[in-house]
A and B are shown apart, each in its own frame.
Chain A
């Protein structure tokens, strides 16, 4: 009797709850990371609000989830607890990990019409390299970038260099760097020539050097690395020599987060960092600066980087469709242009660059085009199964070489052996 009445109470409560919600209302949780200075988080929030105002039947809870690292941790923790967000921006390179954890669903099931397929084909191919595998699309490019070289025109002029000409090759970067490195009366350096940050995730900028040295560090299937290739060793030796032999870069591990600040403070005359910092630099640099593609070694080259949208399992069909609609909206030209202008991230679809807003912006501020033009030379960012661990092995090897604990060849040989032990089970 008691059981029966409890059941009926529960049932009527459920009916009451269901009828209280407006018909067809969709709730979405959306995690997003921010890895650059400036007001990127506010821009995402305001774009989301704009979407909500136009779509009263959808409710999106946009949650700032910290760095990329924090975000992937939070997303996986939430998904393991059966509480995954419906959509999240996370590093494009975490694709294999998320597939292996069986947490994400491919977009293909929700992009079935011809129109949708045409939309999917409208992204830069370089950005899709880290977004597709096994014939399926798992990520939609959003806050994507390539690293670029920023230079301080004032410092160039003071060093007797042409302020309009950045280094185009490795050799030039060293030569110019040596002219730009200033010392005080005591022989202490007051301004370094160049700064390639090596804290946290040194592999990313280092991949610029390996690509320029014409070598790829991991295969497309994400199950084999190439860390001990002689060309990788050569690239690492160049990085080590920048502080050692050539003395143009601060020795030791160079902090990623403090890099823009060091540039503003005149601690370094050139820096390598993401194009996502462009607007931050434009707002805060107290001098004229220029932006160039990374210098060429054997060829030009840079990795792509940044975050994709992912769809998570355990989401209802209605939620999925709403999420896909939101993604299509936020990557559409008008919104994408706003995002690019607010940060410097590369709008991932060529059509955005054809809009009048973007054309006008690029005419007024040409550096915004550099990262886009560099896409022609770009390769996929290092991504493997158990990505976090494999890249950490690589990072540790780079740190060991940079701090002089091991020579470049040994460090990379050890890293390759460790990566092999992990990845051989995925072949």
Chain B
């Protein structure tokens, strides 16, 4: 390759590279670096503490609690939202009246900001005069306090997340469905296959790349979406609905314990990298690409 091409290539890469380095790589390295120091306070400078922050993390019951919560949160939201997304996509992929309207209705939660959505759900969940309790009241049931009990706070957050996510994933499945050549299903039908069989043997395998993409996104989102916690529960009661990222926020920007925040962040990044790599390698073998 000539020298001129070489320079041109770098120039073309430069803008993307500058942003990636400035906003991803440098912060990541700084975070790892900071996790080995103590938090500077106005009157006390930061000192090197080696692995102290990591020892503290291992001994921190709140860390294990939020990590566990995050696991349940992922397990509770991802499969259901993917399943719902597929069902909704299959439903709106057919011809019927008001199809556009239904598609829009399914997609609306995605467009709304999570903070706004959380405020609406806060009204649903409010004990006594919230929507859920009003409906239950008509049916003769008593008052609930879904956000105020440790057993139901996290599931209540999961419901909001599923409602928000399913419509988003539906769009990808809808696109996937529309790219499947109709000739395949027609051929299968001529061979005498039923709808169920067509779905499992043709549609679903052909949607695998989408499922991979969606599930990677869903896992990332389950660690990334914490906005509604601020509005709905503030992580309470007693951290029952706190997730890892929310705990990182609290540690770093409420307690201003920035080095412990950095330590938690390192763990989270490591975890996400592992999951993403695992998913791609594990699922990749089962995915049909054209």
Contact = CB atoms under 8 A, between A and B. Distances in A.
Interface in B83-115: none
Interface stretch (A182-190, A276-284, A356-364): A182-190
Interface in A265-281: 265, 267
Interface string A396-426: 1101101101000000000000000000000
Interface string B28-51: 000000000000011100000000
B41 A403 contact: no
Q: How large is the interface on A (under 10, 10 to 19, 20 to 34, 35 or more residues)?
A: 35 or more
B148 A186 contact: no
A254 B250 CA distance: 22
Contacts of A403: 148-150, 237-238, 240
Contact of A101 (B147, B240, B256, B257): B256
A130 to B, nearest CB: 19
A400 B41 contact: no
Interface stretch (A153-161, A205-213, A230-238, A245-253): A245-253
Interface centre among A97, A258, A265, A397 (most CB of B within 10 A): A258
Interface string B245-277: 000001001111100000000000000000000
Interface string A166-189: 000000000000000000001111
Interface string B144-181: 01011110000000000000000000000000000000
Given A73-B254, A189-B143, A396 B129 contact: no
A388 B250 CA distance: 9
Interface in B229-244: 233-234, 236-240
Contact of A76 (B145, B148, B237, B256): B256
Given A199-B236, A252-B148, A400-B238, A262 B142 contact: no
A48 to B, nearest CB: 27
A255 interface: yes
27 contacts: A73-B253, A76-B253, A76-B256, A100-B41, A100-B42, A101-B41, A186-B141, A188-B142, A199-B233, A200-B234, A250-B127, A253-B148, A255-B147, A255-B148, A262-B129, A267-B129, A388-B255, A388-B256, A389-B254, A389-B255, A392-B250, A392-B254, A396-B238, A397-B238, A399-B236, A399-B238, A405-B237
Given A100-B43, A403-B240, 14 more contacts: A102-B42, A186-B141, A187-B142, A188-B142, A198-B148, A250-B127, A252-B145, A253-B145, A267-B129, A389-B254, A392-B255, A396-B239, A402-B237, A405-B237
Interface of A: 69, 72-73, 76-77, 97, 100-103, 186-189, 198-200, 250-255, 258, 261-262, 265, 267, 386, 388-389, 392, 395-397, 399-400, 402-403, 405
3 residue pairs, one from A and one from B, having the closest CB atoms: A102-B42, A253-B148, A188-B142
